[in-house]
Amino acid sequence: MTTNLKAGERVDDLQRNHLQIIQNQEKFCFGMDAVLLSGFVSVKSGTTILDMGTGTGIIPILLSAKTEAKHLTGLEIQEESADMAIRSVALNHLEEKITIRQGDIKEASAIFGNAVFDAVTCNPPYMIGEHGLRNPDEPKAIARHEILCTFDDVAREASRVLKPGGKFFLVHRPFRLAEIMETLIRYKLEPKRMKLVYPFVDKEPNMVLLEASRGGNSGMTVEKPLIVYENPGVYTPEIYDIYGY
């Protein structure tokens, strides 16, 4: 099943249920944020999930093992990434459970329709304006910077494709938390659960995991923080558990 690899690609072991993923290190590889988001998602059996900006399909592939979702769909605008995602789905024999669709997040509701998914996940581009240097490699730049879509686009389309009461799960950066909350509420996505991620116990958080409910009542639970490292190079037990080691 590795004979369909293209130049620069490799197959990585996801350390869970024998799952694998095709990636190109020169383009863009998934990071810890995607893995932590997959561990944060909590859905009922039989759920339909849309992952917006799926990249090489890491979140749907992990969620196929971590949840009892009925079907998962990945939406990705970059043709090369979508192609790798499609081939990774086939590599794992998940064609009946995961569908990859090439398309624009800004047009998600036009592609899929309104109120069709039970849950939406998204690991969106974090950086705006001069926040961080634009990567000269375009696939990486698109993944990290708001070049092709903004968080407003993400929230708007998530709200549209979600069924009433549907859940929206995302990972983002704490420095944009005020804007994120305001945008979610404006699109009737009520924040319900939040977890801050700290690289070390004595450092500032560098990620935030959020769950919002479409049309939900106000009231949010702030969960116990997630600490990534006990010592340099040594994950905490919670991180090992999320990774499946």
Cβ contact 159:152 at 8 Å: no
Average pLDDT score, the chain: 91
Token readout for 137 is 């490699």
Residues 6+ apart with CB under 8 A from 27: 8, 80, 81, 137, 139, 140
> Which tens digit of pLDDT belongs to each residue from 3-58?
589 999 999 999 888 999 999 988 888 999 999 999 999 999 999 999 999 999 99
- Residue 149: strand pairing partners: none
Residue 2: the pLDDT is 45
Looking at the domain 9-243, which fold is it? Rossmann fold (3.40.50)
% of the chain exceeding 90 in pLDDT: 82
pLDDT over 80 at 61, yes or no: yes
Q: Domain boundaries in the chain?
A: 9-243
- Residue 59: pLDDT over 70: yes
Joined tokens for residue 4: 């369909």
pLDDT in tens, 98-142: 999 999 999 999 999 999 999 999 999 866 654 444 444 555 554
Query: Is residue 239 pLDDT above 60, yes or no?
Result: yes
∠ CA 236-58-94, rounded to 5°: 125
pTM of the model: 0.92
